[in-house]
Amino acid sequence: MRKIIAIYLILMLAACSSKKEGNMIVQGNIKGLKKGTLYLQKMKDTLLISVDSVKVFGAGAFKLTDNVESPVIYYLTFDGNTTDKRILFFGNKGTITINDNIEVFGIAPEITGSENQTIFNNFLKINNGFNNQNLEFIKQDFEAKKSQNVNLQEQIRKDYNRMVRRRYLFTTNFALANSDSDVAPYLALTELYNANIKLLDTINKSLTPKVKASDYGKRLDKFIEEIKSKEK
């Protein structure tokens, strides 16, 4: 029994080693990382799976690989834990270079080699502003409730709803302007999933044939069809 368990563990470690071959290479350096295990992960159905890993000793240099059929979001994490520090990026065929610092891991990594990532970064620059506004509204609402200021609470609610509409409009326009990128259907699925079906349909119809045939393109089409079938 012990031999079987030992063999199983060896196979598991081998499956998670960075010696595998793939059409995507993720390499780079995490400055200040002296010891640890980096995991390359992605979503499969509704599960987050590790596709490769590498142990780092004494230096932050790393190299990970995977076979990419269609550009999708990947995660670079420590110990497979995406609830802590992580780097999220668009994976694709070719070499992607990620450089970061262990002290601020995941906050502002330098990522090159992914055209989709460049477009996604442009979206994040504006979207981070909306995230900051959202946090400010939460703070204001808490203080208004604490002081039992009903009029202020109502005004905050109205301002918040206007911000949400601006955010939806920005995300929709960004997706339409980048309909030839896998970022467009990804944003529709992650940022606009609860938006009006007509809005989602507009983005879906604007996608180029190549993007419609991609992983996120197919998911968006299926998602829209499921919503429409429930509304019948």
The CATH number that applies at residue 83 is 2.60.40.1120
Q: Is the pLDDT of residue 14 over 60?
A: no
The more confidently predicted of residues 1 and 132 is 132
> Could you tell me if 227 and 121 lie in one domain?
yes
Q: What is the pLDDT of residues 166-198, one digit of tens each?
A: 999 999 999 999 999 999 999 999 999 988 899
> Could you tell me if 106 and 122 lie in one domain?
no
Q: What is the pLDDT of residues 129-146, one digit of tens each?
A: 988 898 998 988 888 888
The pLDDT assigned to 7 comes to 41
> Could you tell me if 82 and 122 lie in one domain?
no
SS3 of the chain: CHHHHHHHHHHHHHHCCCCCCCCEEEEEEEECCCEEEEEEEEEECCEEEEEEEEEEECCCEEEEEECCCCCEEEEEEECCCCCCCEEEEEECCEEEEEEEEHHHCCCCCEEECCHHHHHHHHHHHHHHHHHHHHHHHHHHHHHHHHCCCHHHHHHHHHHHHHHHHHHHHHHHHHHHHCCCCCHHHHHHHHCCCCCCHHHHHHHHHHCCHHHHCCHHHHHHHHHHHHHHHHHC
Domain holding 210, by residue range, is 117-231
**Where residue 232 falls among pLDDT bands split at 50, 70, 90?**
low
> Could you tell me if 218 and 145 lie in one domain?
yes
* Average pLDDT for 47-56: 90
- Number of domains composing the chain: 2
The pLDDT assigned to 36 comes to 83
* Domain end among 68, 94, 111: 111
* Average pLDDT for 207-216: 96
Lowest-pLDDT choice from 25-29, 66-70, 148-152: 148-152
Q: Is the pLDDT of residue 9 over 50?
A: no
* Domain end among 111, 137, 162: 111
Lowest-pLDDT choice from 55-59, 104-108, 147-151, 215-219: 55-59
> Could you tell me if 152 and 100 lie in one domain?
no
> Could you tell me if 33 and 88 lie in one domain?
yes
> Could you tell me if 98 and 124 lie in one domain?
no
> Could you tell me if 150 and 82 lie in one domain?
no
The more confidently predicted of residues 16 and 56 is 56
> Could you tell me if 218 and 183 lie in one domain?
yes
* Domain end among 111, 146, 172: 111
pTM attached to this predicted model: 0.83
> Could you tell me if 104 and 125 lie in one domain?
no
> Could you tell me if 58 and 82 lie in one domain?
yes
Q: Measured between alpha carbons, how far is 191 from 125 in angstroms, rounded to an integer? A: 15
The pLDDT assigned to 178 comes to 97
